[in-house]
Amino acid sequence: MEPVEIIEDGVLLRPWRETDAEAVHRACQDPDIQRWTTVPRPYRPEHAHGFVTEMSRTAWAEGTGAPFAVCDPSTGELLGSSGLISIDKDGTGEIGYWTAPWARGRGVMVRAARAVARWSFDTLGLRRLIWQAEVGNHASRLVALRAGFRIDGRLRLANPALHGSADGWIGSLLPGEVPAAGSTGPAGPGTLAARRAAVFGRPQPVLFAESKAGELRLRPMEEQDLDAVVQTSRDPETIHWTTVPDPYEHADAQGYQAYGRDAWARGDAACFVIADPDDRYAGTLDVRLSPADPLVADVGFVTAPTARGRGYLPAALVALSAWGFSTLGLARIEWKANVGNTASRRAAEKAGFLIEGTARGGVQHRGERVDVWVGALLAKDLG
Protein backbone atom coordinates (compact mmCIF):
# COMPACT_ATOMS: atom_id res chain seq x y z
CA MET A 1 0.00 0.00 0.00
CA GLU A 2 1.38 3.38 -1.01
CA PRO A 3 1.65 6.03 1.73
CA VAL A 4 -0.58 9.08 1.23
CA GLU A 5 -1.05 12.57 2.62
CA ILE A 6 -4.38 13.97 3.77
CA ILE A 7 -5.18 17.61 4.45
CA GLU A 8 -8.55 18.19 6.03
CA ASP A 9 -10.17 20.54 8.53
CA GLY A 10 -6.94 22.25 9.54
CA VAL A 11 -4.72 19.20 10.01
CA LEU A 12 -2.14 17.49 7.82
CA LEU A 13 -1.79 13.73 8.03
CA ARG A 14 1.35 12.42 6.36
CA PRO A 15 3.64 9.38 6.57
CA TRP A 16 6.25 9.47 9.32
CA ARG A 17 9.73 10.76 8.53
CA GLU A 18 13.04 10.03 10.17
CA THR A 19 13.25 13.70 11.19
CA ASP A 20 10.13 13.23 13.37
CA ALA A 21 11.99 11.00 15.82
CA GLU A 22 13.08 13.79 18.17
CA ALA A 23 9.55 15.20 18.51
CA VAL A 24 8.08 11.71 18.98
CA HIS A 25 10.61 10.98 21.72
CA ARG A 26 9.73 14.25 23.46
CA ALA A 27 5.99 13.62 23.21
CA CYS A 28 6.25 10.09 24.54
CA GLN A 29 7.87 11.26 27.76
CA ASP A 30 4.40 12.52 28.67
CA PRO A 31 2.90 10.65 31.66
CA ASP A 32 -0.52 10.33 30.02
CA ILE A 33 0.89 8.76 26.85
CA GLN A 34 2.94 6.36 28.95
CA ARG A 35 -0.05 5.63 31.19
CA TRP A 36 -2.61 4.87 28.52
CA THR A 37 -0.62 3.43 25.60
CA THR A 38 1.76 0.52 25.18
CA VAL A 39 4.84 2.57 24.30
CA PRO A 40 8.05 1.20 25.87
CA ARG A 41 8.96 2.52 29.32
CA PRO A 42 11.33 4.22 29.59
CA TYR A 43 10.85 5.60 26.09
CA ARG A 44 14.28 6.11 24.54
CA PRO A 45 15.41 7.85 21.33
CA GLU A 46 15.96 4.50 19.64
CA HIS A 47 12.31 3.60 20.24
CA ALA A 48 11.17 6.78 18.50
CA HIS A 49 13.57 6.23 15.61
CA GLY A 50 12.38 2.66 15.13
CA PHE A 51 8.76 3.77 15.17
CA VAL A 52 9.08 6.49 12.53
CA THR A 53 11.25 4.36 10.25
CA GLU A 54 11.02 0.58 10.41
CA MET A 55 7.62 0.11 12.08
CA SER A 56 5.70 2.71 10.09
CA ARG A 57 7.31 1.84 6.76
CA THR A 58 6.67 -1.87 7.24
CA ALA A 59 2.99 -1.27 8.06
CA TRP A 60 2.49 0.71 4.84
CA ALA A 61 4.50 -1.68 2.69
CA GLU A 62 2.72 -4.80 3.93
CA GLY A 63 -0.72 -3.17 4.08
CA THR A 64 -1.17 -4.11 7.72
CA GLY A 65 -1.58 -0.53 8.93
CA ALA A 66 -1.61 3.12 7.97
CA PRO A 67 0.26 5.23 10.56
CA PHE A 68 0.15 9.01 10.09
CA ALA A 69 1.98 11.88 11.70
CA VAL A 70 -0.58 14.57 12.56
CA CYS A 71 0.89 17.99 11.80
CA ASP A 72 0.02 21.66 11.53
CA PRO A 73 -0.34 22.23 7.75
CA SER A 74 1.09 25.75 8.01
CA THR A 75 4.09 25.24 10.26
CA GLY A 76 4.70 21.51 9.93
CA GLU A 77 4.77 21.15 13.73
CA LEU A 78 4.08 17.61 14.96
CA LEU A 79 0.80 17.53 16.88
CA GLY A 80 0.24 13.83 17.40
CA SER A 81 -0.18 10.39 15.91
CA SER A 82 -3.25 8.88 14.29
CA GLY A 83 -3.97 6.11 11.86
CA LEU A 84 -4.89 2.50 11.41
CA ILE A 85 -2.94 0.22 13.71
CA SER A 86 -4.33 -2.84 11.97
CA ILE A 87 -6.20 -3.71 8.79
CA ASP A 88 -7.94 -7.08 8.54
CA LYS A 89 -8.85 -8.95 5.38
CA ASP A 90 -12.52 -8.81 6.33
CA GLY A 91 -12.57 -5.04 5.77
CA THR A 92 -12.14 -4.00 9.40
CA GLY A 93 -9.52 -1.54 10.58
CA GLU A 94 -8.61 -0.43 14.08
CA ILE A 95 -7.82 3.20 14.77
CA GLY A 96 -5.26 4.39 17.28
CA TYR A 97 -4.05 7.84 18.28
CA TRP A 98 -2.25 10.02 20.78
CA THR A 99 -1.93 13.79 21.06
CA ALA A 100 1.34 15.52 21.87
CA PRO A 101 1.04 17.32 25.23
CA TRP A 102 1.73 20.71 23.59
CA ALA A 103 -1.21 20.26 21.19
CA ARG A 104 -4.01 19.28 23.58
CA GLY A 105 -7.22 21.22 24.02
CA ARG A 106 -7.43 22.27 20.36
CA GLY A 107 -9.58 19.47 18.92
CA VAL A 108 -6.64 18.23 16.87
CA MET A 109 -7.23 14.53 17.35
CA VAL A 110 -10.97 14.67 16.71
CA ARG A 111 -10.30 16.25 13.31
CA ALA A 112 -7.49 13.80 12.58
CA ALA A 113 -9.57 10.75 13.58
CA ARG A 114 -12.43 11.88 11.35
CA ALA A 115 -10.03 12.36 8.45
CA VAL A 116 -8.55 8.89 8.95
CA ALA A 117 -12.04 7.40 9.12
CA ARG A 118 -13.24 9.11 5.94
CA TRP A 119 -10.11 8.04 4.05
CA SER A 120 -10.48 4.47 5.36
CA PHE A 121 -14.02 4.18 4.06
CA ASP A 122 -13.81 6.24 0.87
CA THR A 123 -10.36 5.22 -0.38
CA LEU A 124 -9.54 1.87 1.23
CA GLY A 125 -13.12 0.67 1.07
CA LEU A 126 -13.15 -0.59 4.65
CA ARG A 127 -16.53 -1.62 6.03
CA ARG A 128 -15.92 -0.96 9.71
CA LEU A 129 -13.51 0.78 12.06
CA ILE A 130 -12.88 -0.37 15.61
CA TRP A 131 -11.67 1.76 18.52
CA GLN A 132 -10.40 0.35 21.81
CA ALA A 133 -9.09 2.00 24.97
CA GLU A 134 -8.50 1.01 28.55
CA VAL A 135 -11.45 1.70 30.83
CA GLY A 136 -10.66 5.03 32.46
CA ASN A 137 -9.10 6.67 29.41
CA HIS A 138 -11.86 9.26 29.15
CA ALA A 139 -9.86 11.56 26.88
CA SER A 140 -9.56 8.86 24.22
CA ARG A 141 -13.21 7.90 24.68
CA LEU A 142 -14.31 11.51 24.15
CA VAL A 143 -12.29 11.75 20.92
CA ALA A 144 -13.90 8.53 19.70
CA LEU A 145 -17.41 9.77 20.49
CA ARG A 146 -16.76 13.07 18.71
CA ALA A 147 -15.39 11.18 15.71
CA GLY A 148 -18.70 9.32 15.45
CA PHE A 149 -17.83 6.01 17.10
CA ARG A 150 -20.57 4.22 18.98
CA ILE A 151 -19.18 2.83 22.23
CA ASP A 152 -20.64 -0.63 22.19
CA GLY A 153 -19.44 -2.11 25.44
CA ARG A 154 -16.47 -3.54 27.28
CA LEU A 155 -14.02 -6.36 26.64
CA ARG A 156 -10.78 -7.66 28.06
CA LEU A 157 -7.82 -6.14 26.26
CA ALA A 158 -5.42 -8.45 24.46
CA ASN A 159 -2.49 -6.10 25.02
CA PRO A 160 -3.14 -3.92 28.09
CA ALA A 161 -0.80 -1.11 29.07
CA LEU A 162 1.81 -1.85 31.71
CA HIS A 163 0.27 -1.61 35.21
CA GLY A 164 -3.07 -0.75 33.60
CA SER A 165 -6.43 -2.48 33.69
CA ALA A 166 -7.11 -5.44 31.46
CA ASP A 167 -10.63 -4.15 30.83
CA GLY A 168 -11.26 -1.99 27.78
CA TRP A 169 -14.00 -0.04 26.07
CA ILE A 170 -14.76 -0.92 22.47
CA GLY A 171 -16.49 1.16 19.83
CA SER A 172 -17.31 0.86 16.17
CA LEU A 173 -17.84 3.19 13.24
CA LEU A 174 -19.47 2.37 9.90
CA PRO A 175 -19.44 4.19 6.55
CA GLY A 176 -21.76 7.19 6.55
CA GLU A 177 -21.44 7.76 10.30
CA VAL A 178 -18.44 10.12 10.31
CA PRO A 179 -19.50 13.67 11.28
CA ALA A 180 -18.88 16.32 8.64
CA ALA A 181 -15.64 18.27 8.80
CA GLY A 182 -16.05 21.40 10.89
CA SER A 183 -19.16 20.12 12.68
CA THR A 184 -19.37 19.85 16.43
CA GLY A 185 -20.71 16.32 16.28
CA PRO A 186 -21.75 14.23 19.27
CA ALA A 187 -20.24 14.84 22.71
CA GLY A 188 -19.04 18.27 21.69
CA PRO A 189 -17.74 20.95 24.06
CA GLY A 190 -20.31 21.85 26.69
CA THR A 191 -22.22 18.58 26.48
CA LEU A 192 -22.80 16.35 29.47
CA ALA A 193 -20.50 13.70 27.97
CA ALA A 194 -17.66 16.23 27.68
CA ARG A 195 -18.28 17.53 31.18
CA ARG A 196 -18.16 14.09 32.75
CA ALA A 197 -15.14 13.02 30.72
CA ALA A 198 -13.27 15.93 32.29
CA VAL A 199 -14.42 14.90 35.78
CA PHE A 200 -13.82 11.15 35.60
CA GLY A 201 -10.66 11.57 33.56
CA ARG A 202 -8.98 13.08 36.62
CA PRO A 203 -8.27 11.47 40.01
CA GLN A 204 -11.26 11.27 42.32
CA PRO A 205 -11.47 14.49 44.34
CA VAL A 206 -11.67 15.02 48.08
CA LEU A 207 -14.82 16.84 49.19
CA PHE A 208 -15.30 18.71 52.44
CA ALA A 209 -18.31 18.99 54.73
CA GLU A 210 -18.89 20.96 57.90
CA SER A 211 -20.34 19.17 60.92
CA LYS A 212 -20.83 20.32 64.50
CA ALA A 213 -17.77 18.24 65.44
CA GLY A 214 -15.57 19.84 62.78
CA GLU A 215 -14.62 19.42 59.15
CA LEU A 216 -15.28 16.09 57.49
CA ARG A 217 -13.46 14.80 54.42
CA LEU A 218 -15.07 12.70 51.72
CA ARG A 219 -12.22 10.82 50.07
CA PRO A 220 -11.52 7.55 48.25
CA MET A 221 -11.18 4.48 50.45
CA GLU A 222 -7.67 3.72 51.70
CA GLU A 223 -6.04 0.61 53.14
CA GLN A 224 -6.27 2.11 56.62
CA ASP A 225 -10.08 2.03 56.36
CA LEU A 226 -10.52 -1.67 55.64
CA ASP A 227 -10.64 -2.95 59.22
CA ALA A 228 -13.25 -0.34 60.13
CA VAL A 229 -15.27 -1.26 57.03
CA VAL A 230 -15.27 -4.89 58.19
CA GLN A 231 -16.36 -3.93 61.72
CA THR A 232 -19.12 -1.69 60.42
CA SER A 233 -20.38 -4.35 58.02
CA ARG A 234 -20.54 -6.92 60.82
CA ASP A 235 -22.69 -4.63 62.94
CA PRO A 236 -26.24 -6.03 63.40
CA GLU A 237 -27.90 -2.78 62.26
CA THR A 238 -25.83 -2.70 59.08
CA ILE A 239 -26.63 -6.33 58.33
CA HIS A 240 -30.34 -5.79 59.02
CA TRP A 241 -30.84 -2.76 56.77
CA THR A 242 -28.33 -3.32 53.96
CA THR A 243 -27.31 -6.12 51.63
CA VAL A 244 -23.68 -6.45 52.74
CA PRO A 245 -22.40 -10.03 52.70
CA ASP A 246 -23.05 -11.94 55.91
CA PRO A 247 -20.62 -13.01 57.23
CA TYR A 248 -18.48 -10.08 56.06
CA GLU A 249 -14.78 -10.82 55.55
CA HIS A 250 -11.69 -8.71 54.91
CA ALA A 251 -11.77 -9.81 51.27
CA ASP A 252 -15.23 -8.25 50.96
CA ALA A 253 -13.85 -4.89 52.08
CA GLN A 254 -11.04 -5.18 49.56
CA GLY A 255 -13.59 -6.02 46.88
CA TYR A 256 -15.63 -2.95 47.77
CA GLN A 257 -12.51 -0.78 47.58
CA ALA A 258 -11.75 -2.23 44.13
CA TYR A 259 -15.34 -1.61 43.07
CA GLY A 260 -14.94 2.07 43.98
CA ARG A 261 -11.78 2.40 41.88
CA ASP A 262 -13.37 0.61 38.92
CA ALA A 263 -16.62 2.59 39.13
CA TRP A 264 -14.70 5.88 39.02
CA ALA A 265 -12.66 4.66 36.04
CA ARG A 266 -15.86 3.68 34.21
CA GLY A 267 -17.43 7.01 35.07
CA ASP A 268 -20.64 5.57 36.47
CA ALA A 269 -20.26 6.08 40.24
CA ALA A 270 -18.27 7.87 42.92
CA CYS A 271 -17.63 6.03 46.18
CA PHE A 272 -16.43 8.02 49.16
CA VAL A 273 -15.33 7.30 52.69
CA ILE A 274 -16.59 9.80 55.25
CA ALA A 275 -13.55 10.64 57.38
CA ASP A 276 -14.04 12.42 60.71
CA PRO A 277 -11.98 15.46 61.81
CA ASP A 278 -9.20 13.06 62.88
CA ASP A 279 -9.34 11.27 59.48
CA ARG A 280 -10.88 8.16 61.02
CA TYR A 281 -13.41 6.10 59.09
CA ALA A 282 -16.95 7.24 59.89
CA GLY A 283 -18.87 5.61 57.05
CA THR A 284 -19.25 5.30 53.30
CA LEU A 285 -21.32 7.34 50.87
CA ASP A 286 -21.82 6.45 47.19
CA VAL A 287 -23.51 8.25 44.31
CA ARG A 288 -24.37 6.02 41.35
CA LEU A 289 -25.39 7.36 37.95
CA SER A 290 -28.54 5.90 36.45
CA PRO A 291 -27.92 3.85 33.27
CA ALA A 292 -31.39 4.84 32.08
CA ASP A 293 -31.26 8.61 32.66
CA PRO A 294 -27.91 10.43 32.69
CA LEU A 295 -29.35 13.28 34.77
CA VAL A 296 -30.44 11.01 37.62
CA ALA A 297 -28.35 9.30 40.32
CA ASP A 298 -29.05 7.49 43.57
CA VAL A 299 -27.19 7.51 46.86
CA GLY A 300 -26.33 4.79 49.32
CA PHE A 301 -24.65 5.15 52.68
CA VAL A 302 -23.56 3.36 55.83
CA THR A 303 -22.43 4.94 59.10
CA ALA A 304 -19.89 3.33 61.42
CA PRO A 305 -21.43 2.45 64.80
CA THR A 306 -18.94 4.72 66.60
CA ALA A 307 -19.96 7.69 64.42
CA ARG A 308 -23.73 7.46 64.68
CA GLY A 309 -25.74 10.31 66.14
CA ARG A 310 -23.08 12.96 65.43
CA GLY A 311 -24.63 14.51 62.35
CA TYR A 312 -21.86 13.32 60.06
CA LEU A 313 -24.11 11.68 57.49
CA PRO A 314 -26.45 14.64 56.75
CA ALA A 315 -23.46 17.00 56.40
CA ALA A 316 -21.66 14.60 54.08
CA LEU A 317 -24.82 14.00 52.06
CA VAL A 318 -25.31 17.73 51.50
CA ALA A 319 -21.70 18.11 50.32
CA LEU A 320 -21.93 15.12 47.99
CA SER A 321 -25.25 16.27 46.55
CA ALA A 322 -23.94 19.78 45.90
CA TRP A 323 -20.97 18.26 44.05
CA GLY A 324 -23.28 16.01 42.05
CA PHE A 325 -25.41 18.93 40.91
CA SER A 326 -22.62 21.41 40.22
CA THR A 327 -19.93 19.10 38.85
CA LEU A 328 -21.72 16.09 37.37
CA GLY A 329 -24.65 18.14 36.10
CA LEU A 330 -27.29 15.99 37.81
CA ALA A 331 -30.91 17.09 37.93
CA ARG A 332 -32.18 14.63 40.54
CA ILE A 333 -30.59 12.49 43.27
CA GLU A 334 -32.72 9.67 44.65
CA TRP A 335 -32.66 7.91 48.00
CA LYS A 336 -34.29 4.65 49.03
CA ALA A 337 -34.41 2.79 52.34
CA ASN A 338 -36.34 -0.17 53.62
CA VAL A 339 -39.50 0.90 55.42
CA GLY A 340 -38.59 1.11 59.09
CA ASN A 341 -35.02 2.34 58.60
CA THR A 342 -35.73 5.58 60.44
CA ALA A 343 -32.04 6.44 60.92
CA SER A 344 -31.47 6.52 57.17
CA ARG A 345 -34.69 8.50 56.66
CA ARG A 346 -33.73 11.10 59.27
CA ALA A 347 -30.32 11.58 57.64
CA ALA A 348 -31.89 12.04 54.21
CA GLU A 349 -34.51 14.48 55.49
CA LYS A 350 -31.91 16.53 57.37
CA ALA A 351 -29.95 16.79 54.12
CA GLY A 352 -33.03 18.19 52.37
CA PHE A 353 -34.40 15.10 50.66
CA LEU A 354 -38.18 15.09 50.22
CA ILE A 355 -39.84 11.76 50.99
CA GLU A 356 -42.05 11.09 47.99
CA GLY A 357 -43.76 7.88 49.05
CA THR A 358 -43.49 4.14 49.51
CA ALA A 359 -42.68 1.67 46.75
CA ARG A 360 -44.39 -1.62 47.64
CA GLY A 361 -42.03 -4.54 47.09
CA GLY A 362 -39.58 -1.98 45.79
CA VAL A 363 -36.34 -3.89 46.29
CA GLN A 364 -35.01 -7.38 46.74
CA HIS A 365 -33.62 -7.74 50.26
CA ARG A 366 -32.04 -10.97 51.49
CA GLY A 367 -34.28 -13.27 49.52
CA GLU A 368 -37.57 -11.38 49.60
CA ARG A 369 -39.22 -8.29 48.18
CA VAL A 370 -39.66 -5.51 50.74
CA ASP A 371 -41.33 -2.11 50.79
CA VAL A 372 -39.06 0.93 50.57
CA TRP A 373 -39.36 4.62 51.25
CA VAL A 374 -38.44 6.73 48.25
CA GLY A 375 -37.13 10.29 48.37
CA ALA A 376 -35.26 12.71 46.17
CA LEU A 377 -33.32 15.94 46.16
CA LEU A 378 -33.33 18.43 43.29
CA ALA A 379 -30.72 21.08 42.60
CA LYS A 380 -33.18 23.84 43.53
CA ASP A 381 -33.73 22.21 46.93
CA LEU A 382 -30.17 23.16 47.95
CA GLY A 383 -30.61 26.76 46.90
Mean pLDDT of 114-125: 98
Segment 6-24, tens digit of pLDDT: 999 999 999 999 999 999 9
The letter for the amino acid at 120 is: S
Do the bridges between strand 128-134 and strand 92-99 make them parallel or antiparallel, or are there none, so unpaired?
Answer: parallel
Domains of the chain (ranges, CATH numbers):
6-193 (3.40.630.30), 207-382 (3.40.630.30)
CB 81 within 8 A of CB 97: yes
The mean pLDDT of 227-232, rounded to a whole number, is 98
Label residue 110 by pLDDT band (50, 70, 90).
Answer: very high
Per-residue pLDDT for 132 more than 80? yes
Above pLDDT 90, what percent of the chain? Answer: 93
Under the banding of pLDDT at 50, 70 and 90, the label for residue 160 is: confident
Region 247-274: mean pLDDT is 97
In which element (H, E) is residue 283 found? strand 281-289
Give the global pTM: 0.93
Strand, coil or helix: 95: strand
pLDDT, residue 229, reads 98
Quickly state the pLDDT bin for 162 (edges 50, 70, 90): confident
Bridge partners of 153?
Answer: 170
What are 170-203's pLDDT values in tens digits?
999 999 999 998 888 789 989 999 999 999 999 9
pLDDT band at 163 (very low <50, low <70, confident <90, very high): confident
Dist CA 82 CA 65 (whole Å) = 11
Cα dihedral value 344, 264, 135, 255, nearest 10: -60
What is the pLDDT confidence band of residue 40, given thresholds at 50, 70 and 90?
A: very high
